[in-house]
Amino acid sequence: MAGVGLRSIGLRDHYRSDTDDMVGDFYGPCLSAAARYDRAVGYFTSTSLALAANGVQKLAARNGAIRLVASPHLDAEDIEQIELGYEYRSIIAAAISRELGPQVEKSPALLARMGLLGRLVGDGALDIRIAIVRRNDRLALYHEKIGIFVDDQGDMAAFNGSSNETASALIDNFESVEVFQGWLPGDQARVKRIAKDFDALWNGTTAHVEVLDFPTLGKERLVQLGKAAKQRGLEHLPPASESGVLIGGRAGSYPIPRLPAGVTLRDYQRESVKRWFSANGRGVFQMATGTGKTLTALAAVTKMAEIYEREKKPLLAVVVAPQIDLVDQWKREAERFGIHALCCYDSAATWTQAATALTIGLASRTTGFGMLITTNATLSREPFQEFLQRQRAPFVFVADEAHNLGSVAGLAALPTFAAHRMALTATPERWFDPAGTQALADYFGPTVIELGLAEAIGIGALCEYNYYPVPVALNEDESESYAELSQRIGRLFATGADPDGSDEGGTQLSRLLQRRAQLLAHASGKLMALERHLRERMEDPWQLLYCAEGSPPSGGPRQVDEVLRLAGAELGIPSHTYTSAETREERQSVLDRFRRGDLRALVSMRCLDEGVDVPDARRAYILASTSNPRQFIQRRGRILRRSPGKEFAEIVDFIAVPEGHVDMNIERQLLRREIARFADFAASARNAGEALAIMRPIRETYGLMDV
């Protein structure tokens, strides 16, 4: 058919990165016009053909074929193992499997493209072979870079040059290729020679080059990706505007985010965004847990991206959160704004190439937006720090639960050259760390909004709640241990020992205080009291149970295991743990089952403290909390988020109270923190009077009515 062959696409004799888009101007058009594509290249990675998958799809639709010869992408450890005499074929197979690992399925756009390639492999349209140079019993990598396109009319176009079939080569590096057109008299000899060289290579007759079939596991994995893409409804490639870094074309590859349809910011959210801009894009959003910090932050970043677009400048956003679960949650929220964020955690090998491609692609544009989301741990590590050091264009740095970054290591990881900065936290003050608190304030800038719990409830941003404190007495053995610990603590206090000091007395005092706190946290009476409350609410869904960390001082099973046994095995309440012992995938599955109502209770220690969104939760049982106010503020916030059909929430707080012969002065200091938590919870509760009445005798006994 006229107009669809290689002659019709306007090929030039040379393409170079400073003037051309290597994918959009050369590879894509050639693949769209070709019936066969032969390629021999230095390195091959999973993102190579995905970059030009639009063209591949058109080639496949015409029953076209692709033959690819490549060197494996070996890392330093692979090469070392080969040099030590390990079987190189198995190492090569492992390297190829690594390129097709689970990171492919984290991106719908990449999965769609790799799924297409998997279907091509399954249909026999794509054949891959691996080339290794063997000389004098030593292995080397095959580095020749040639390619041939053949169309239905038999016309051929051949090329050679510096480009490898990798994302970094096609997008990031400065590359060039020389192109020879077989229908031009001056190019015919070169095209025939390149085609002949490829055929010899493919057939294994090139001297010193060993050509291996593509590993069976690699083929099976590609076919599996094809099936996975189909199951997730990704049989058709997304348009360029949804593909971000993976297409490599310039127009529409980095879309500007937009506020989701149907989303209206509350007055306090709009005002906080306005104040952040007034502070030159810097500031702290101090908002009660559950009041929409993530939504507010994404709205501010969206507005910033729109401003940069009008100024003909690209913008990068770097978001950091304390846990992987929160990174995944951020990604889901960002997708509502049309943002296809790249998550950076686990091994640097899973994200470095894509992150570099994204940022270099942005830097080459006059407009566009990209987002990276990472964890606090990854932020502090050398690969991400090196990556940040290369970013000199303006970017916005967003820290979720920013108080966690006030440690020495966290502060050192903060990018000093970020033009715009945003801290999100309900509790900016770090516990016993005024220096870290001040350092964060100095870095992020002024507080642009301070929305407390009572105000948030008053304006309807959070739901109301009832608070039920449950005093629990220690048993005889616990009371004896408690009294002994208290006496030892009293003697150390009398010597002037400081638990925050570094001397031997202070260290010993700190350990004793921790043991006594653990004793109270694991008080056996709490389980009996919990059983009474759970029996009254066995059929109620969406309950959270917060347990003490670690094991009881006296040994025996952990409280979290005992609570799970009580709720699940004894009372028959569908329950599951939500702790660091579960994998990320398991925790997400548990949350999904909880939201559906398949699980009525989640039993946790710390993993539900910060950020995890469980708006359906109606009731929280707090068997233990640290004295750090941040923890119980976060826990309270978990159940105050609004949700359809949720009129109010409930908090049941089990407070261990020592009895018997105790030093009132010492116990007063210990209980002061517990009573402070109680008073804070009670102050904003619907049933404040009832809660205060329950705890009044204890406060009077210990002289804590002033708390």
Measure CA 333 to chain center: 12
For the stretch 17-74, pLDDT in tens is 667 777 677 877 888 889 999 988 766 555 554 544 445 666 777 788 889 888 776 6
Q: How much is the pLDDT for 272? A: 97
Lowest mean pLDDT, pick from 79-83, 302-306, 448-452, 521-525: 79-83
Instruction: Copy the structure tokens of residue 323.
Output: 């846990």
CB 285 within 8 A of CB 424: yes
User: In this predicted model, which residue has the larger pLDDT, 148 or 54?
Assistant: 148
What does the pLDDT average to over 550-557?
83
**Which pLDDT band, with edges at 50, 70 and 90, does 651 fall under?**
very high
Ordered alpha helix ranges (H), 62-143: 76-83, 88-99, 108-123
Region 524-545: mean pLDDT is: 94
pLDDT reported for residue 304? 96
Q: Residue 341 gets which letter from DSSP?
A: P
Number of residues assigned to the chain: 707
| 146, pLDDT greater than 80 | yes
* Least trusted range by pLDDT, from 91-100, 166-175, 190-199, 677-686: 166-175
Is 226 in contact with 119 (CB distance < 8 Å)? yes
Closest CA to 673 of 499, 453, 488, 457: 499
In angstroms, the CA 668 to CA 217 distance is 66
Q: How many CB atoms lie within 10 A of CB 86?
A: 12
Give the pLDDT score at 582.
84
Residue 619's contacts (CB-CB under 8 Å, 6 or more residues apart) are 537, 540, 542, 543, 544, 639, 649, 650, 651, 652
Burial (Cβ within 10 Å: 0-12, 13-18, ≥19) of residue 205: exposed
Q: At a CB cut-off of 8 Å and minimum separation 6, what does 317 contact? A: 301, 305, 369, 370, 371, 372, 395, 396, 398
Annotate 463-510 with three-state secondary structure. CEEEEEEEEEECCHHHHHHHHHHHHHHHHHHHCCCCCCCCCHHHHHHH
How far apart, in whole angstroms, are the C-alpha atoms of residue 370 and residue 358?
7
| Cα 106 to Cα 100: distance, rounded to the nearest angstrom | 12
Integer angstrom CA distances of residue 239 from 257, 401, 467: 16, 35, 51
pLDDT of residue 80: 65
* CATH class, 464-701 region: alpha beta
For residue 658, report the phi and psi dihedrals to the nearest 5 degrees.
-70, 150
User: 27, 177 in Cβ contact below 8 A?
Assistant: no
Query: Structural domain boundaries of the chain?
Result: 6-246, 267-458, 464-701
Q: Would you state the pLDDT for residue 396? A: 97
| Residue 419 in this model has a pLDDT that exceeds 80 | yes
Reduced to 3 DSSP states, what percent helix, strand and coil does the chain have, rounded to the nearest 5? 45, 20, 35
Rounded CA-CA distance 303/482 in Å is 57
Global confidence as pTM: 0.61
Domain 267-458 fold is Rossmann fold (3.40.50)
pLDDT beyond 50 at 166: no
pLDDT for 673: 72
CATH tag, 6-246? 3.30.870.10
Convert 602-627 to b/e letters by CB count within 10 Å (16 or more is b): bbbbbbbbbbbbbbbbbbbbbbbbbb
Instruction: Share the mean pLDDT of the chain.
Output: 83
CB 237 within 8 A of CB 349: no
pLDDT of residue 437: 94
pLDDT digits (tens, 9 = 90+) for 200-255: 999 989 888 888 888 887 888 888 888 888 888 766 554 433 333 333 333 234 78
Band of pLDDT at residue 573, cut at 50, 70 and 90: very high
Same fold for the domain at 267-458 and the one at 464-701?
A: yes
DSSP designation for 324: H
3-state secondary structure of 574: coil
Is the pLDDT score of 335 beyond 70? Answer: yes
